[in-house]
Structure 1
Amino acid sequence: MVDSRIMVWTSIAGIAGALWLVALVYWRSWRFRKLERLPPGSMGWPLIGELIPYVTIARSEAPYIFPMEREKKYGTVFKTSLLTGKTIMITDVEGVKFVLHNEGVLFESGYPRSLKDVLGEHAMLFQHGELHKRMHAMLKRFVSSTPLKKHLTREMELLTKQGMSTWSRGTKILLQDEIQRITHDFLMKQLFGLEPGKLSATIFEEFNRLMGGIIGIPLMIPGTPYHRAMKARKKLTKIISGMVAFRRSRPDIEHKDILNALIEEIKQEERDADQIIVDNALINIANAEGIPAVIIAFAVKNLSENPKALEQIREENLAIRKGKDPSEGLTWNEYMSLDFTHAVFNETLRLANGAQGVMRKALKDVEFRGYVIPKGWTVLPYFLNIHFDEKMFPQPTKFHPWRWLEVLSTTSHSCNFATWLQQRSIPSSYVLPFGGGARLCPGQELAKVQTAVFLHHFVTQFRWEAEPEKVINFPKISTKNHLPVVLHDL
C-alpha cells in the first residue's frame, strides 16, 4: 500500500517536473526569440547604460547628435539605456506618429519617478483615460475660443507694455529674465487670477526650486535637488489649497481663470479632488512657466544674428502701427495677419525645441517593423531628428524663417495655428514642439500669441545690441547668459 502511494507521488512529481522543464525550455526559447527581435543598438555600461554620453551631448548646442550618430549606425529604430532604463528610441516621422497616435492602446506615459513625485501623480501628464481627457478638454476650452483668445491677447499686451516701460536705455539688461517676469505675471493672472505682487513672486521662487529636482535620483536627503523640490511642492500645495478653500467659502465671488475651471471640472469627484486640483495646477505652471519666455528670448537672439529677418519683421509690425494712436493695442485680425512674425515663431521652435521627445511605456509586446518592443520598456519618440531633417529643411541648422512662407493654398487670416500649418508646404507632422496625438499641448496657440505680442512691441519700440549667446539644452532649455542686451529707443 505504501509502495503504491510512493509510486503514485513519484509519478506525479515526475510529470510535474517534466512539465516544468518543458515550460522552462519554451519560456527561454520564447524569450530568446523576443530578445533576438529587439531593434539593434547598444545598452552601454551596466547600471548607467548610455546615460553619460546622452547627457553630455544633450548639454551641448547640438543635442540631436546623440540619436543621429546611432541612426546612421542602426537605423531610425534602435535600443539604448537612459534615464528610465531599457529604451527604444524612434527618430523618423512615421515611427513617431505610430507611438503618439497609439496612446492608451499600445503605449502610455512613462516618465521617471522623480518627475511624478514632484509634479503629482494626478497631473494630466501621468494620467490615462477619462481624467486625462477631461483635463485636456478643459484647458483647450479655456484657451481656444475666439473671445477668450482676444481677451488673452489684450492681457498679454497690457503686461508687455507695463514691463517694457520699466526698462532702462543705454545699460545692459538680461532680456530673458525681463521676459520671464512678463510671461510669469501673465501666467499667474490666467491660472490664479493673481496680480503682480508678493504671492506671485513667492510662487515663482518656489516653482524654480521644484523644477530643479524633477530629473534625478529620488532620495529624500537634505540638500539634494529632489529634497528641495519636495519641500517646494509642500509650500506650493499649501498656497494653492488655500486659494481653493477661499473660493469654496465665497462662491459669490466670480473668478474667470484656470483654477476656477479646474474646481468646476472636478467638483463631482468623491476622492482626491483637492489633490487633483493641486497636481494639475502645478503641471500647468510647468508647461507654461519657462517655455514662452525661452521661445521669445530665442526669437530675439535669432533676429539679433540675422539683420535681414529683423528688418522684415520690423517692417511688418511697423506697417500695422501706421495711422494708429500709440495707445491702441494689437487687434486680433492684425495679430492673425503677422505672417512673417509667425514664421519666426515656427523657425525658432524648430531650432530650439524644449521638448526633445516624449517618454512612453509599452503596455504589451509591440510588433513594429519586424522588431519587438517588449512590454514595460520605455519608448522615446524623438522630435529633434525630424526638426533637423535635411530633406524637409535644407541647411537645417540655419535660422531661415522664410522656409515657412511657402504657401500651398490661399491663407485665411482667421485660421488657427493648426490650419495655418496645414496651408504651408511643410507638413504638420514635421512640426512637433508641442507633442502630438491625444497629448498635444493645448497651450500651443497661447505660446504663439505671447510671442507675437511681445515681438510686435519689442521690434517697433527698440533697437538693441546683443552679446554673442549660446544655448543650453539640458536639463532645461535656456540661453547660457540670459541674453544680455543694451536697449535704445527706435
Structure 2
Amino acid sequence: MEFVAFNNLNMMSYVAIGSATLLALWIVHFVFRWKNPRCNGRLPPGSMGLPFLGETFEFFSPNTTTDISPFVKKRMERYGPVFRTSLVGRPVVVSADPDVNYYVFQQEGKLFQSWYPDTFTEIFGRDNVGSLHGFLYKYLKSLVLRLYGPENLKDVLLSEVDKSCCSNLSTWSSKPSIELKEAISTMIFDLTAKKLISYEPSDESESLRKSFVAFIRGLISFPLNVPGTAYHDCMQGRKRAMKVLKSMLDERRNSPAERKCEDFFDHVIEELKKEKPVLTETIALDLMFVLLFASFETTSLALTHGMTYLTNNPKVLKELTEEHETILRNRENPDSGITWKEYKSMKFTFQVIYEIVRLANIVPGIFRKALQDIEIKGYTIPAGWGVMVCPPAVHLNPEIYEDPLTFNPWRWQDKPEITGGTKQFMAFGGGLRFCVGADFSKSLMAVFLHCLVTKYSWKAIKGGNTVRTPGLGFPDGFHIQLIPKA
C-alpha cells in the first residue's frame, strides 16, 4: 500500500514537473516570438519591448524637450531613421525618414491605409473619418470642404473669423490677465460650433464644451480605462459629448418645421433623410465629434505656442507688426473688416505661421497600416503592421532645417505657398488625407495675429512652459495681460 502511494506521489511529481517544463518552454517560445516577429524578409531594427505592453510606457512618458521626443530620438541614434517597436499591443514601424514618409502618404489606398491603434479608435469612434476608406471617405471629405474649403473661406468664414477675433481680444483686454490656451480654445470652439451645429451659449452647449475639455486632457495618454486616470476622463468626456450631439440630432430630425441648410448639421441630416443615404447615424455623429475637436484644439495649441515665441522674439514681432500696420494704412476705411486680398498679401505672416507649426509639432505621429508585405529601404514591413510617420523628426532634422530648434520665420522667405504635404513639411499631414481644415486653420491664425498686433501689446504673466505626453500641453497654462495700443 505504501509502495503504491509512493508511486502515485512520484507520478504526480513527474506530471507537475512536466507541466511546469512545458509551461516554461511555451513562455520562452512566446517571448522569443514576441521579440522576433515572423517576416518574409528583413525587419527594420528595433525592440518589441515587453510582451503585450511593448514600449508603450516609454512612448507616453512625459518630457519637456523642444527637440524630437526622447523615445524617438534614442531609437534613431541606435537603429537609424526607420525602426520597429510595439505600442499598445500592436507591432509598429516608426519612420523618421522623409523619403519613407512621403512614400507612405503617396501610397494611401494602394499599399497603405489610414489606421490608428484600437485605443485611439475607441476615443474617436469606430466610424470616425480617419477609419473610413474609399468612396465613403471621399464623400465625407467633399462634405467637409463645403464648410472649410477655399470658396466658403473667402466668401463667408474670413469675415466671421475677423469679427470673432476682434471681439474676443477686446473682451480679454479688459481683464487683468487671461490664460491664453483656454481663451483661444473657447473662442474657436464658439466660432466653429456655431457653423457646425448652430451653437449658442446655453447650459447644453456649455456642457458640450466642458465634455470636450475632459476629452482633450486624456486624448494622448496611457490607455488605462479605470477611474482616476486621464484616459478614463477622456472616454467619459467623449460619452457625454456624444450624448449631447445625439440629443441635438434627434431634436433636429424630429422638428416638424423644415429648416434651410443653415449649418453643417443640416447638410448631414438632409443626407440621412434620403431613401438610400450614404451616411449612417453613427458615422454622422462620429464625424461631428471629430470636426468639433479638430476645428479648435490643434489651432489653439499652435497659436498659444506661437505666442510664446513672439513674446521672446521682438525682432520677429516688429516685422510682423509692420506688415499688418501697412495693411491698415493702405485701407480706405481703417475700421472695415479684413479682405481676401489683404489676407493673401500677408507674406511674412505666413512665414511666421509655417515656423510656428513646424516647431509646435502638435501631432507626434500619423498612423497608417500596411495592406501587404512592403519592401522599402532594404526592409520589409509585414502586412497588417502599423506604420507611424513621425513629423517632428522631419521638422527638427538639422539636415533639412538649419538650427532647427531656432524660431526663424525668415527660413521660409521666397518659398512657395504650401498647399499639400511635402517630404520636408507635414504639419497638416500629406497625401489623400492632407488636412481639409488646413486653409481654415492658417486663416484663423493669420487673422488673429492681425487683430492682435495692430491693436494690442502684451506681457507674459506666468506659465508658457510645455510638456509632451507625447501630445503638446501647457501644464501651467500661458497667462498674459493684453494692453490696448493708444
Q: TM-score, normalised by structure 1?
A: 0.84
1:90 is displaced (CA, Å) by 1.1
Q: Provide the C-alpha distance between the structure 1 equivalents of 2:175 and 2:234, rounded to a whole number of angstroms.
A: 38
Aligned to 1:312: 319
1:143 is displaced (CA, Å) by 1.6
Q: Provide the C-alpha distance between the structure 1 equivalents of 2:342 and 2:394, rounded to a whole number of angstroms.
A: 32
Which residue identity lines up with residue 316 of structure 2 in the other structure? A
Are 1:131 and 2:164 an aligned pair? no
Deviations 1:177-215 (CA, angstroms, capped at 9, x unpaired): 221221111111121122344333221101122334445
Of 247, 253, 258, 2:259 maps to: 253
Aligned to 1:356: 364
Q: Provide the C-alpha distance between the structure 1 equivalents of 2:241 and 2:51, rounded to a whole number of angstroms.
A: 38
Residue 473 and residue 256 in structure 1: after superposition, are their counterparts in 2 closer, same or farther (change >3 A)?
Answer: farther
1:388 is displaced (CA, Å) by 1.2
Query: Is the Cα–Cα contact under 8 Å of residues 317 and 460 in structure 1 kept in the other structure?
Result: yes
Deviations 1:450-487 (CA, angstroms, capped at 9, x unpaired): 10111101111111111462222225323332211122
SS in 2 for 1:182: helix
Query: Is the Cα–Cα contact under 8 Å of residues 60 and 222 in structure 2 kept in the other structure?
Result: no
Q: What pairs up with 1:39-78 in 2 under 5 angstroms?
A: 39-56=44-61, 60-78=65-83
Deviations 1:395-430 (CA, angstroms, capped at 9, x unpaired): 00000001111246xxxxxxxx545x8xxxxx9331
Aligned to 2:476: 481
Q: What pairs up with 1:148-163 in 2 under 5 angstroms?
A: 148-163=153-168
Q: Does 258-267 or 476-485 show the bigger shift?
A: 258-267
Of 174, 178, 190, 1:173 maps to: 178
Q: Provide the C-alpha distance between the structure 1 equivalents of 2:232 and 2:178, rounded to a whole number of angstroms.
A: 33
Q: Provide the C-alpha distance between the structure 2 equivalents of 1:66 and 1:303, rounded to a whole number of angstroms.
A: 29
Are 1:95 and 2:100 an aligned pair? yes
Of 430, 441, 444, 1:436 maps to: 430
Residue 155 and residue 271 in structure 1: after superposition, are their counterparts in 2 closer, same or farther (change >3 A)?
Answer: closer
Query: Is the Cα–Cα contact under 8 Å of residues 61 and 470 in structure 2 kept in the other structure?
Result: no
1:245 is displaced (CA, Å) by 2.9
Of 368, 374, 384, 1:366 maps to: 374
Residue 300 and residue 193 in structure 1: after superposition, are their counterparts in 2 closer, same or farther (change >3 A)?
Answer: same
Query: Is the Cα–Cα contact under 8 Å of residues 463 and 477 in structure 2 kept in the other structure?
Result: no
Aligned to 2:298: 291
SS in 2 for 1:372: strand
Deviations 1:282-339 (CA, angstroms, capped at 9, x unpaired): 1112212311111111221111110000000011111111255453111111011011
Which residue identity lines up with residue 263 of structure 1 in the other structure? I
Aligned to 2:187: 182
Query: Is the Cα–Cα contact under 8 Å of residues 271 and 279 in structure 2 kept in the other structure?
Result: no
Of 330, 345, 355, 2:338 maps to: 330
Query: Is the Cα–Cα contact under 8 Å of residues 323 and 346 in structure 2 kept in the other structure?
Result: yes
Query: Is the Cα–Cα contact under 8 Å of residues 465 and 477 in structure 2 kept in the other structure?
Result: no
SS in 1 for 2:58: helix
Are 1:281 and 2:271 an aligned pair? no
1:78 is displaced (CA, Å) by 1.2
Query: Is the Cα–Cα contact under 8 Å of residues 267 and 273 in structure 1 kept in the other structure?
Result: no
Deviations 1:38-68 (CA, angstroms, capped at 9, x unpaired): 1112223343333333333655433444323
SS in 1 for 2:446: helix
Q: Provide the C-alpha distance between the structure 2 equivalents of 1:46 and 1:321, rounded to a whole number of angstroms.
A: 62
Q: Does 31-40 or 316-325 show the bigger shift?
A: 31-40
Which residue identity lines up with residue 477 of structure 1 in the other structure? L
Are 1:263 and 2:269 an aligned pair? yes
Q: How many residues align?
A: 447
SS in 1 for 2:356: helix
Aligned to 1:116: 121
Query: Is the Cα–Cα contact under 8 Å of residues 113 and 371 in structure 2 kept in the other structure?
Result: yes
1:217 is displaced (CA, Å) by 6.7
SS in 2 for 1:428: coil
Of 451, 454, 457, 2:448 maps to: 454
Residue 246 and residue 44 in structure 1: after superposition, are their counterparts in 2 closer, same or farther (change >3 A)?
Answer: closer
Residue 309 and residue 180 in structure 1: after superposition, are their counterparts in 2 closer, same or farther (change >3 A)?
Answer: same
SS in 1 for 2:61: helix
1:394 is displaced (CA, Å) by 0.5
Deviations 1:199-249 (CA, angstroms, capped at 9, x unpaired): 332211011223344456766644444444444333323322233233333
Q: Provide the C-alpha distance between the structure 1 equivalents of 2:334 and 2:200, rounded to a whole number of angstroms.
A: 25
Residue 375 and residue 338 in structure 1: after superposition, are their counterparts in 2 closer, same or farther (change >3 A)?
Answer: same
SS in 2 for 1:125: helix
SS in 2 for 1:78: strand
Query: Is the Cα–Cα contact under 8 Å of residues 59 and 474 in structure 1 kept in the other structure?
Result: no
Q: Provide the C-alpha distance between the structure 2 equivalents of 1:40 and 1:101, rounded to a whole number of angstroms.
A: 24
Query: Is the Cα–Cα contact under 8 Å of residues 193 and 255 in structure 1 kept in the other structure?
Result: no
Query: Is the Cα–Cα contact under 8 Å of residues 169 and 489 in structure 1 kept in the other structure?
Result: no
Residue 482 and residue 255 in structure 1: after superposition, are their counterparts in 2 closer, same or farther (change >3 A)?
Answer: farther
Query: What percentage of residue pairs aligned between the two structures are identical?
Result: 32
Aligned to 1:7: none
Structure 2: 5+ residue runs without aligned partners? 1-32
1:71 is displaced (CA, Å) by 2.3
Aligned to 1:20: none
Which residue identity lines up with residue 436 of structure 2 in the other structure? P
Query: Is the Cα–Cα contact under 8 Å of residues 89 and 379 in structure 1 kept in the other structure?
Result: yes
Q: Provide the C-alpha distance between the structure 2 equivalents of 1:406 and 1:148, rounded to a whole number of angstroms.
A: 25
Which residue identity lines up with residue 155 of structure 1 in the other structure? E
Aligned to 1:3: none
Residue 485 and residue 118 in structure 1: after superposition, are their counterparts in 2 closer, same or farther (change >3 A)?
Answer: same
Residue 305 and residue 32 in structure 1: after superposition, are their counterparts in 2 closer, same or farther (change >3 A)?
Answer: closer
CA RMSD in angstroms comes to 2.6
Which residue identity lines up with residue 487 of structure 1 in the other structure? L
Query: Is the Cα–Cα contact under 8 Å of residues 176 and 294 in structure 1 kept in the other structure?
Result: yes
Q: TM-score, normalised by structure 2?
A: 0.84
Residue 389 and residue 250 in structure 1: after superposition, are their counterparts in 2 closer, same or farther (change >3 A)?
Answer: farther
Q: Provide the C-alpha distance between the structure 2 equivalents of 1:62 and 1:440, rounded to a whole number of angstroms.
A: 24
